[in-house]
Structure 1
Amino acid sequence: MRRRFRSPRFQALEGRRLLAASLHNAEAPADVNRDGSVTQIDALWVVNYLSRQSTHGKSGLAAEGASLEGSGAAPPVAAAPDVNGDLNVSAIDALMVINHLARDLEAELPPPPPIDFDAIAKAPGVGTTFTAGFNLNESGGSENLLAANEVETLLSRASMATASDDAIIAIVDRSGRILGVRVEDGVSPAVTSDAETLAFAIDGAVAKARTAAFFSSNAAPLTSRTVRFISQSTVTQREVESSPTDADPAYRGPGFVAPIGVGGHFPPEVDYTPQVDLFAIEHQSRDSRRHAGADGTKGTADDFFLNTRFNADPAFIPEAAETFFTTWPESYGEQSGTSTTSVARGIGTLPGGVPLYKAVPGASKPSESINLVGGIGVFFPGDDGFATFEQGFQHTDDNGGVTQSEKQRTNAAKVLEAEAAAVIAAAGGGMVGPNAFVRNLNEFNRQLPELEQFVLPTGRIDLVGITLEIYGPTPDRSFRQPGIDRVIHEARKVGTGIDSGVNVAVLPDATTLLDGNPVPEGWLVAPHDSPNGELTAAEVQQMIETGIAEAERTRAAIRLDIDNGFRPGATTRMVLAVSDTDGELLGLYRMPDATVFSIDVSVAKSRNTAYYADPDDLVEADRVDFNGDGLRDDSAISMSLKDDSGDTFPLGTALTSRSFRFLVEPRFPTGIKLSGGINDGLTNDPLVSLCDAKPTLCVEVGPQSGLRLPGIDPLTAENLDSQQPLDFQVYASAGHPSTVMFDAFIASRNFRDPGDANVQIAGGGGNQPLANQNGVVFFPGSTAIYVDQRSRLAGGLGVSGDGVDQDDVVTSAGQIGFSPLQSTRVDRFTIGGVRVPFQKFNRNPFGT
């Protein structure tokens, strides 16, 4: 049972009954009749209680020894029908008992054994023509990867780096597998006393560590701070102050590890500036071997298990890539076995996630002198594991009517301490890079366990002329020195501490420390014919190889030329994926040292665009409804910038992930400033959206943005009522207009696509319509693809790597001969007088 540390909440009593606090079983909430076990009878207690109250108008539970009709059970001395502890009884309480039973039932079912690749014959050319391998350093030996003893030293260094003892520290390898976790002694008992809460809190540190491991490369260190700087996602309080397994529907949600705020400007918080690259990146890397079924909830009876990541056909996976395809970015609870229905918290974008590099002795050139081996994440969980504690979140109503800035939340004291601990832990051998960016960290390393082979590269990375934050914040009037000096300043201020806490098990067999694995490159999935006959292997190979050629001459946005003094000018390294209209992954290629997050992203992009362009598959709720009236009127379609009556797009219109981003941004069109009165008088009513309350002003918000939904302040992204967040179903509903909020609350779905009946679980497992889904991506680098003179939809192409504009450049090359006709592209039409973008290219994308 998660303990809550918040003020009492008050609700209208429509359809509910106000109860005394004693009618909640704090020890076992689902045990309504307090008989020591949870059965269907407990759900019946709630249902019959509601029936009696409705019939007799009683205000209390008749518990004076009367029998429970239809159950055959005698009532206890004091039954507890208030399952969620909200001082009310409603049908939700009965549903929570049912879900509890379903989770227990599913948890008892062990996953099928790992796939036996040796028993599956490889397709012709797999492993010969279409091969995968590892980089030079990884092929050179395990000494260039993370070893278990080094994981333990890193955990100790991070614990000792600052005097606080209330942090959780996680280490992952480059594939995101959890190698070690330290829970310090001062972590709240409210967290450590409950396995589910502890698993959720650990995932906060894991999310940060994975961000650093997934987004960095051997040519650029990107931290969780950097990723927030270049994403500027709209992150609501409702998304952050939540947990995927919380029994209370008002606090069930994704639990993102990100600063709360509207975002949508670059540079951050500068009015009238456009969006930046990685919008909603927090949603990525939440796929799991245990995939939720149609109800969207892990741990219920319709869950299913995949044999390979992305449901890739094992016959087309080269041997070197087999381990990767049986490694998912699992939640800590799932990997350790302590909370097997937990959902990973995605990409963490609060600072405190730092990449881990090992120096390679005897390298022939600078670019081969370091090897990225993983990431470290430091997270302060507070009393409930929400990221609101670490960022010092205060609701506007509790802060004298003043809204905290994103900068304040991103640079709160605990956030800066987490970042300092991670930086110092990772730099056992100091920093490497241009002298202007390197700092001497010997004052810390002398006090910490030795780890000289681990170094921390640095340098300067600019995006559209803006210098990105890597270590520490951009200088300002309060601290005029570079960000790395702010990190060192914070470390000195807090001071070093002792080696605190214990390493917890990371596997069900109680193993606490693991060696790391490399990530393969090359053909991860060999090109092959679509099972539905839409695409041939030759066509898949053509698209991917044409894209690779373009990537090799395209200048990267987030990659440095290490051999040229850590300067800009390196060319891109991309991941390219092709899927058919059923989501079958027909080809996947990772260029050398391409970012690992790009594997998940490119696959999802290819599936997203194929689904959205399919007029037979597109679900009505996923279509654009610009004016928010609940109708998608095909008669209200416009192709003119002078006509603002356009409300939606025709079925079959081809959108890209750039289009998806434009539609979910907090302002429409991007870069405008919302009217000051847009949030005046809004009520915290689950049935009243922004467009219901403010029909003329809501069109300033992206038509598929979560800010249009009930319960959220469109100017702050905070809950309208800080003490009364709205129910999970308000945001997870299959009917509301926000594609981005549905994706946040229901992980690993392709919009609301119910899937195709003929989809099978690769490697054996029968039919499963949702098997070919792994989430939605809301930033550029994709297109729907067509055959038969570009007249028939056949699938999608997804590209991800070193910059989203670069992704579009590479996509545009790969799509030659397969792109949608201009007559079907989204930029032929307008909604609200605005043309939604399809693709965009840099003025001079090539060369060094």
Structure 2
Amino acid sequence: MFRPPTIGGRFPKPSPTKRQMTAKSFGRRWRFSFAAFLCVLAMAGLSSLLQSSRAQASKLVLISHETSTRGIALDSVTLKREPFDPTSEVSWGNDNQTRIMLFAIGLDPKTPPSAITANAEDGSNKTYPLTVEYVGPVPEQDWVTAIVVRINEQMGDIGDVLVGISYQGLNSNRVRVGVGHVGDGPPDDVGAVPTPGTIAPPVGASATAGTLTTSDVQTIIAQAVSAAASLNRAVTVAVTDKEGNVLGVFKMTGAPATTQFRGGGPGPSQTPSPITGFVSVGFDGTVVPAKLAAISKAGTAALFSTRGNAFTSRTAGFIIQEHFPPGVDFKSGGPLYGVQFSSLPCSDIKVPGLPLGLSGDPGSAPVYKNGEAVGGVGIEGDGVYTVDRDPTDFDQPIEEVIAVSATRGFEAPSLIRGDNILVDGIRLAYLNVTGAPNTATIAFGSLPGAIDPLFPIRSAQPSQFTAAVVGGIAGEVDTHFFPFIASPTVTANSLTAADVNTIISHAAQQANITRAAIRQPLGSNARVSIAVVDTNGVVLGVFRQTDAPVFGFDVSVQKARTAAFYSGANAATLLRGAGFGSYVDRAAADGLKLDGSVAFTDRAGGFLHRPFFPDGINNSQAGPFSREINEWSVFNTGLQLDLIKTNLQTVSSGGAAPCTSIPGLPNGIQIFPGSMPLYKNGVLVGAIGISGDGVDQDDLIAAGGGAGFAPPVNIRSDQVFVRGVRLPFLKFPRSPNL
């Protein structure tokens, strides 16, 4: 049985007039601390810690969270996690300094506390000695030792410190702990990684984008085709890996060769060109090859899904319409309104992109192996590329039924499915399928149809990302945008590489303590992509936290570029020069000059880009950047689509072009929240964009990253009124931190 430590003899007798910590109460607290420790380890990845503990036994290792170098640490009295107040409500004899409990591997629990030294280094490189007051075992966990240290009296609200211990000439790794607040600390030690060693080195070799094998791909396709044949339907099936790389396309005999855009909104469909398949305004009526729709559906399910959430193209369609939930009047637009025009084939960020961007057309499902998101499958066969305008009718499209059959044996864990995730109290859509065919699977070589020669069967492709640790947070980078760089346009106030590292580090640290909105289990932290650009839209750095949804990588850059563009002095001139003067005129009629006098976030820009203004208020005029509601659909949003349409047609026809003709917007703009323009000495120097979790969380993380670089209050968009309505700037979630 665990015997609580005896510490009363080391402290004077408690005064009866104060709340004090005695040996007896410490013992009770320690038992609770043990329980809390196990809970924390469960969140940090207990199984991986156990697996590597023996390998670490010859080292002195302080345990960190699985995805960052932040230490597993608890206030030894309150059991709260960081940040830790320097002083405690509980008096420990002659002092009331807070005691922090850390956990180590490779240290004998019988080691005398006096034999161990500990210290902490703050952001100014000042070092503080920490007194070690207790060393002991953790009940039923003989691989780990508990250590209690006292915060130094000179440590106030100093933010992050790096804490390490030493014993008999062995120095541990140093873990990050927040004192007073989280952030503003020193950089991680060179080569520092989350411990005990389950995360790859700071920049490692590329892995593959998931673990789908050629046999897996053939099985998924065979199950889809067999189900379709049993239903007497002919379809096209596409499979992608988790980063959207196409792993195979199969067209059944008799499957429709094309499909037509029909956004389902009140906007009219037009007759497409018999040569190009495109229409003159928007995309409604456009005809495209069916295989492109199947690929975009599969890629959407893959790019949206993670260990913490599984989404489909139906989920996407549910969150991009003019009201949320769709069909409910006087509700604001979907939280990801506009995301359909991201991860485009013309993007300079997400390579490869999806041929039609992200899809809202039901008929896809994510692919999982052992709880890990590894890809997606998309089905096209009804000749219509659309969104579900009435989610209340619970229609069951044949494409979606076949997608469910395709993923038999590759299903997402039930807990993380979209229909187990609520946003603003609204349960998200996932799949409208109550029963899918479970017929005998036809042998792959006997399937009725053929593999598309442009998309042969293959296994998961090399990943776009390599492992990295930034600001103590584990994640991934694309080496095209790493190491972080300074703005190539050098001015007295331009962003330096150190600025970019600080901004991205602070954003990652904020994300690591921000309560996620769309991840299970509840209590998970947000996982996002973070991008910083300069005033010309040049990418200075992008960082993706471990398991952040891949779609956010492109979107975070779109958001940053959009905020920098709208906040710049030349926005009106550039738009007019590119042929979009009508939008400039409409904005000017609303008192918006687009001349750099207003600091716009994407929340503000998106507010101006809705078919109702204010957002969601039926029977009102459209915002200055949107189509009016009688013309609007998800495929005819206004300026966002008009900017990319011509060049997207060029790329879709086999040509090469950036997404827009405006140099600072090569992957298009984004119109849902999660960005902030950045300023130094009152001068615009760039913007930060965040994407991957709830949009309010994205705003909060953007603000955390941009701390010290925020725009002057008097020019923020929330100081501006349009048609008597105050524009928004940022919106934060209630009780955001874990």
Say whether the 8 Å CA contact 1:353–1:375 is kept in structure 2: yes
1:329 aligns with 2:353: yes
1:621 CA drift (Å): 4.6
1:669 CA drift (Å): 0.6
Say whether the 8 Å CA contact 2:256–2:381 is kept in structure 1: no
Distance 1:222 1:655 in 2: 30
Distance 2:626 2:662 in 1: 27
Task: State which of 672, 675, 679 in structure 2 corresponds to 1:782.
Answer: 675
Q: Secondary structure at the match of 2:233?
A: coil
1:182 CA drift (Å): 0.8
Task: State which of 714, 717, 724 in structure 2 corresponds to 1:823.
Answer: 714
Distance 1:604 1:654 in 2: 17
Q: Cα 1:706–1:418, aligned 2, differ >3 Å: closer, same or farther?
A: same
Task: State which of 335, 351, 369 in structure 2 corresponds to 1:358.
Answer: 369
**For 1:359-508, what aligned pairs fall within 5 Å after superposition?**
359=370, 370-382=371-383, 386-387=384-385, 406-407=389-390, 416-428=397-409, 432-433=413-414, 460-472=420-432, 487-489=433-435, 491=437, 499-506=447-454
Q: Secondary structure at the match of 1:604?
A: helix
Say whether the 8 Å CA contact 1:785–1:815 is kept in structure 2: yes
Give the structure 1 partner of residue 239 of structure 2: 171
Alignment-mate amino acid for residue 350 of structure 1 = D
Give the structure 2 partner of residue 540 of structure 1: 500
1:184 aligns with 2:252: yes
1:164 CA drift (Å): 3.4
Q: Cα 1:840–1:515, aligned 2, differ >3 Å: closer, same or farther?
A: closer
Distance 1:376 1:170 in 2: 6
Distance 1:355 1:582 in 2: 36
Distance 2:711 2:462 in 1: 40
1:488 CA drift (Å): 2.9
Give the structure 2 partner of residue 156 of structure 1: 222
Task: State which of 314, 320, 335 in structure 2 corresponds to 1:231.
Answer: 320
Q: Cα 1:536–1:159, aligned 2, differ >3 Å: closer, same or farther?
A: same
Say whether the 8 Å CA contact 1:748–1:773 is kept in structure 2: no
Q: Cα 1:799–1:458, aligned 2, differ >3 Å: closer, same or farther?
A: closer
**For 1:509-524, what aligned pairs fall within 5 Å after superposition?**
511-518=456-463, 520=465, 521-524=475-478
Q: Cα 1:166–1:631, aligned 2, differ >3 Å: closer, same or farther?
A: same
When the two chains are superposed, the root-mean-square deviation of aligned CA atoms in Å is 4.0
1:489 CA drift (Å): 3.6
Which of the pair has the greater relative contact order for Cα pairs under 8 Å at 6+ separation?
Answer: 1
**Structure showing the higher strand proportion among its residues:** 2
Q: Secondary structure at the match of 1:354?
A: strand
1:597 CA drift (Å): 0.5
Q: Secondary structure at the match of 2:390?
A: helix
Give the TM-score, by structure 2 length.
Answer: 0.60
Alignment-mate amino acid for residue 500 of structure 1 = P
Give the structure 2 partner of residue 274 of structure 1: 332
Give the structure 1 partner of residue 691 of structure 2: 800
Distance 1:551 1:180 in 2: 36
Give the structure 2 partner of residue 552 of structure 1: 512
Question: 1:597-645 CA distances to partner (integer Å, 9 max, x unpaired)?
Answer: 000011111111111111134437579xxx98974697x7xxxxxxxx7
Q: Cα 1:609–1:371, aligned 2, differ >3 Å: closer, same or farther?
A: same
Q: Cα 1:471–1:519, aligned 2, differ >3 Å: closer, same or farther?
A: farther
Q: Cα 1:140–1:713, aligned 2, differ >3 Å: closer, same or farther?
A: closer
Distance 1:134 1:179 in 2: 29
Alignment-mate amino acid for residue 655 of structure 1 = F
Q: Cα 1:288–1:629, aligned 2, differ >3 Å: closer, same or farther?
A: closer
Say whether the 8 Å CA contact 2:209–2:461 is kept in structure 1: no
Distance 1:605 1:622 in 2: 21
1:529 aligns with 2:450: no
Distance 1:172 1:633 in 2: 41
1:668 aligns with 2:613: yes
Q: Secondary structure at the match of 2:670?
A: coil
Say whether the 8 Å CA contact 1:657–1:778 is kept in structure 2: yes
Question: 1:410-443 CA distances to partner (integer Å, 9 max, x unpaired)?
Answer: 9655xx2111111221122666445xxxxxxxxx
Give the structure 1 partner of residue 291 of structure 2: 202
1:190 CA drift (Å): 7.2
Distance 1:358 1:774 in 2: 32
Give the structure 2 partner of residue 832 of structure 1: 723
Say whether the 8 Å CA contact 2:212–2:375 is kept in structure 1: yes
Question: 1:56-98 CA distances to partner (integer Å, 9 max, x unpaired)?
Answer: xxxxxxxxxxxxxxxxxxxxxxxxxxxxxxxxxxxxxxxxxxx
Give the structure 2 partner of residue 686 of structure 1: none
Alignment-mate amino acid for residue 666 of structure 1 = P
Say whether the 8 Å CA contact 1:797–1:815 is kept in structure 2: yes
| Percentage identity across paired residues of the two chains | 30
1:700 aligns with 2:700: no
Q: Secondary structure at the match of 1:526?
A: coil
Question: 1:435-469 CA distances to partner (integer Å, 9 max, x unpaired)?
Answer: xxxxxxxxxxxxxxxxxxxxx96761111111111
**For 1:22-37, what aligned pairs fall within 5 Å after superposition?**
none
Give the structure 2 partner of residue 320 of structure 1: none
Distance 2:699 2:447 in 1: 47
Q: Cα 1:651–1:177, aligned 2, differ >3 Å: closer, same or farther?
A: same
1:285 aligns with 2:230: no
Give the structure 2 partner of residue 844 of structure 1: 735
Question: 1:175-228 CA distances to partner (integer Å, 9 max, x unpaired)?
Answer: 11111001111213678xx99989722110011111101111011111111111
* Runs (5+) with no aligned partner, structure 2: 1-186, 260-273, 278-286, 466-474, 650-656
Q: Secondary structure at the match of 1:706?
A: coil
Give the structure 2 partner of residue 38 of structure 1: none
Q: Cα 1:131–1:200, aligned 2, differ >3 Å: closer, same or farther?
A: farther
Distance 2:346 2:511 in 1: 30
Distance 1:140 1:633 in 2: 46
Distance 1:820 1:781 in 2: 15
Q: Cα 1:601–1:141, aligned 2, differ >3 Å: closer, same or farther?
A: closer
Give the TM-score, by structure 1 length.
Answer: 0.52
Question: 1:460-491 CA distances to partner (integer Å, 9 max, x unpaired)?
Answer: 1111111111222xxxxxxxxxxxxxx13465
Q: Cα 1:465–1:785, aligned 2, differ >3 Å: closer, same or farther?
A: same
Give the structure 2 partner of residue 341 of structure 1: none
* Runs (5+) with no aligned partner, structure 1: 1-124, 233-263, 290-308, 311-324, 331-343, 360-369, 392-404, 435-455, 473-486, 562-567, 637-644, 675-698, 720-730, 732-736, 750-759, 762-767
Give the structure 1 partner of residue 137 of structure 2: none
1:518 CA drift (Å): 3.9
Question: Which has the larger Rg?
Answer: 2
Aligned residues, how many? 492
Distance 1:824 1:811 in 2: 18
